[in-house]
Amino acid sequence: MTDKNAELFERAQRVIPGGVNSPVRAFRAVGGTPRFISRAQGPYIFDAAGQRYIDYIGSWGPMILGHGHPAVLEAVQKAATEGFSFGAPTEREIELAEEIISLVPSIEQVRLVSSGTEAAMSAIRLARGATGRPMLIKFEGCYHGHADALLVKGGSGMATFGHPTSAGVPPEVVQHTLVLEYNNLEQLEEAFALHGDQLACVMLEPIAGNMNFVRAQVPFVRRLRELCTQHGALLAFDEVMTGFRVALGGAQSLYAQLIPGFAPDISVFGKVIGGGMPLAAFGASREVMSLLAPLGPVYQAGTLSGNPVATACGLATLREIRKPGFFDQLSATTASLVQGLDAAAQKAGVPMVFDHQGGMFGFFFASELPQHYNAVLATDKERFNRFFHAMLDRGVYLAPALYEAGFVSAAHTTDDIAATVSAAAEALALG
């Protein structure tokens, strides 16, 4: 903790609820004082006291190129000189949409919005409009933004309806939201058997990044696709976190390699496609997307949708990451980090498990990888908290909660990885 950070946090709490504008930033899960960031460059962030950290949050995923990439900076600066916002169409919106569609074969049209929450909320409205059905399935531990219908988690019973997990959300708003255990085939079968003809969509994070890092198993995804097709429900992949982060075509491209003919019906993107600016999107077939206003009866709008500065940032980012070899190198860097951390944990005799894909990784203080939310809750939270602070003290900035994934950028060097592994070895030796 530095005096400057503590001073800012005290000041912030007087004018901002909890002193932060997004809850996890408050360090409530790990304790201590949040760091107030003053600037960033490459793989590093610098706090208000001038302390440098190797950054594995990357603005929660968008900064896949690192901070301040020259091509992205140039594009944003040029766009800013031309105008911040017009409330009218621009050519760059078309270019970004074309870029996204060219990388994701499952979508034929895309609508740009300003946040992942907005994109997920709109995708569900679109699914309900397309099917004429009210119900949706989500999975416990998956986060799809803070729209009312999605702020619900499951209980211990099978195929039971959830209850709101936020004050201000009336029970009737989530009465059509069915919450199942992630990777539980039995619950999935039962839910479709009971409610299949009322289901508009199933919303899934293919790699759940708000459980730290938990993959949807291939048999689970395969059966989910079969059941949605059989019952006429739409399968929505929430790739706000995984899109263009775990692979160039998103997580869905990985499942398509393992499940012949696989594709979701609706895809939701954010984070990387904005390059750090507020930008997200949802896309589907031309037939489904034609139901959106102004063509169809499903209304969705936004004053800042397709913002010209944000689209410049996102477009420059996508054009960089699609260059040959980019994801091979990013994946290798992430693998190097995870292998080094694993070796450090084994040497220290600390039970610790890891998973990673592309530029995204996760770890748990446990003996085996969790497959669902309750298993994540059973991992060693206190040990994580001690590890987090020991790493922070050594200049490594990890997510301040065990439920959050980590992110590697193309700017992380072999020296950064080595320094991180060295810090981890010291931190793990402390117990």
Active-site residues, by number, are 143, 238, 271
d(CA 268, CA 62): 15
Q: Are 247 and 358 in contact (CB under 8 A)?
A: yes
Nearest to 410 by CA among 58, 44, 45, 66: 66
Integer angstrom CA distances of residue 148 from 127, 182, 201, 236, 396: 16, 20, 16, 18, 35
Contacts of 88 (CB under 8 A, 6+ apart): none
d(CA 262, CA 264): 7
Q: Are 238 and 144 in contact (CB under 8 A)?
A: yes
| DSSP, res 275 | B
d(CA 269, CA 184): 25
Contacts of 123 (CB under 8 A, 6+ apart): 201, 203, 236, 266, 268, 282
